[in-house]
Structure 1
Amino acid sequence: MPMDYTETARAAADTLLSYSKEQDGWRLCKKSGDVAVYWRPSTEFTGNLYKGEGLVAAKPELVWECLKPEPDGLRVKWDSNVQDFQLLDTVTDDTTICRTVTPSAAMGIISPRDFVDVVMIKRYEDGSITSNATNVEHPSCPPQRHFVRGFNHPCGCFCAPVPGEPEKTKVISFFQTDLSGYLPKSVVESFFPYSMTQFYNNLSKAVQSLHV
């Protein structure tokens, strides 16, 4: 049976929307300026689900330009955790299959990874623009030498308008990633909050450079 990529992506989007509405059970693990990172045990795998929240000083459409999951997009230029981003397949106008390559991290303890995901772009009535992704298999991209194949469980970003402040965007990000391989739990649990804080700092700088 071929995988129903659209249905898989839609389910991931529904899951992320439910995460964005859930207030209970989150524990703060890192705060840096306007950015807060929370965690709770994942219900998808044995690791954690992380939520980042931060304000970016620009309109949602401009912030979205920096976050948009597309090859040759801005994300590869500013996001230190994305070394390469490849389009493998187009499913519909708003749903694609992509491969993301990440560099080594945590002073080399985490070796380069690659991830194959179905990604759905959704817009909501409140003006939010969202990317919603989860791991899939695709015949064009089996596991490859030199990369550990990791698995993203439902993850993504919300660019939400801030009522009364048109020049600001609330960015909510969700990460729940099985890095695979043999990694100490302590390394993984310190890596995500740190890298998510960096994600917001780098995003803000990227948006400001567009804004000027």
Structure 2
Amino acid sequence: MDYSELARAAAVKVLNYSREPGGWRLCKSTDEVSIYWRPSTEFPGNVYKGEGIVNEAPKHLWEYLKPEPGGLRVTWDKTVKEFEVIEAVTDTISVCRTVTPAAAMKIISPRDFVDVVLVNQYEDGTIASSATNVQHTSCPPQPGYVRGLNHPCGCLCVPVPGDPGKTQLVSVFQTDLSGRLPQSVVDSFFPYSMAQFYSNLIKAVRTQNL
């Protein structure tokens, strides 16, 4: 399996999702984020995109989002219980396992995900992480967890022109939670979870001084 090729292909798709203006429908809006959706072309589900402005410079905000073991993200992101690197492919590409807790009043049981993750920076200063599901021989499905599948997804810290102290945070999620879940639960979970993602991140930025 060519992890590098898969990671780079996912990064292209995530960047395209972040920049494509058409075809999206607004499904949830708060003071902190607008969340849009459209049918996914990757699997029989939806792709969701969140867009919000965070009062923090991109490089500083990135510290809260870095996909790394023992990083800040597990301290504020309620959807991430554990994060581990299974294999470091290159300096910027790694195969990782993420564990999520039960959600939606425990209707959604704990999940785990195995993804190849690419971290890169674009010419305009955008810092991004992109991921997609892969298989790895050292990490088969684990007892007590439903193995979910992330299709090309990620987060982008985009500089705001003329205001270096702000970041446009764009998040892309398209996840097959697997298992036998009512579609109504899945459809309501993602917009709510993404809104909480932004709210919890902004609270962390306000209270933790890096």
Question: Could you say which TM-score interval applies, normalised by the shorter chain?
Answer: over 0.9
- For each residue in 1:45-101, what CA deviation from the matched residue of structure 2 results, as whole angstroms up to 9, or x when unmatched? 000000000111110011100000000000011000000001101000000010000
Q: Does 1:28 align with 2:17?
A: no
RMSD of aligned Cα (Å)? 0.8
Q: Does structure 2 retain, via aligned residues, the 8 Å contact 1:156–1:174?
A: yes
> Equivalences for 1:85-100 in 2 at 5 Å?
85-100=83-98
1:127 to 125, 137, 141: 125
Does the CA contact (< 8 Å) of 2:64 and 2:72 recur in 1? yes
Query: Identity, % of aligned pairs?
Result: 65
CA distance in 2, matches of 1:137, 1:157: 22
Q: Distance in 2 between matches of 1:60 and 1:103?
A: 28
Give, in whole Å, the separation in 1 of the partners of 2:118 and 2:180.
30
For residues 93 and 71 of structure 1, the distance between their equivalents in structure 2, rounded to whole angstroms, comes to 15
The amino acid that maps onto 2:29 is: K
Structure 1: which 5+ runs fail to align? none
TM-score computed with the length of structure 2 as normaliser: 0.98
Aligned residues: 210
Match in the other structure for 1:209: 207
**Superposed displacement of residue 211, structure 1:** 3.4
The residue aligned with 1:194 is 192
Scaled by the length of structure 1, what TM-score is found? 0.98
**Displacement of 1:209:** 2.3
The letter for the 1-side match of 2:146 is V
Q: Please list, as runs of the form range in 1=range in 2, the aligned pairs for 1:96-107 lying within 5 A after superposition.
A: 96-107=94-105
Instruction: Return structure 1 stretches of 4+ with deviation > 2 angstroms.
Output: 209-212
1:67 is aligned to 65
Match of 2:47 in 1: 49
Q: Which residue in the other structure is 2:5 paired with?
A: 7
Post-superposition Cα deviations, 1:12-60, rounded to whole Å, max 9, x if no partner, equal 0011111122111000000001310000000000000000001111100
Contact 1:12 1:132 in 2 (8 A): yes
Q: Partners of 2:27 and 2:173 in 1: how far apart? A: 14
In structure 1, what is the equivalent of residue 160 of structure 2?
Answer: 162
CA distance in 2, matches of 1:138, 1:76: 23
> Residues 86 and 98 of structure 1 are in contact (CA less than 8 Å); yes or no, is this contact kept in structure 2?
yes
Q: Distance in 1 between matches of 2:71 and 2:103?
A: 22
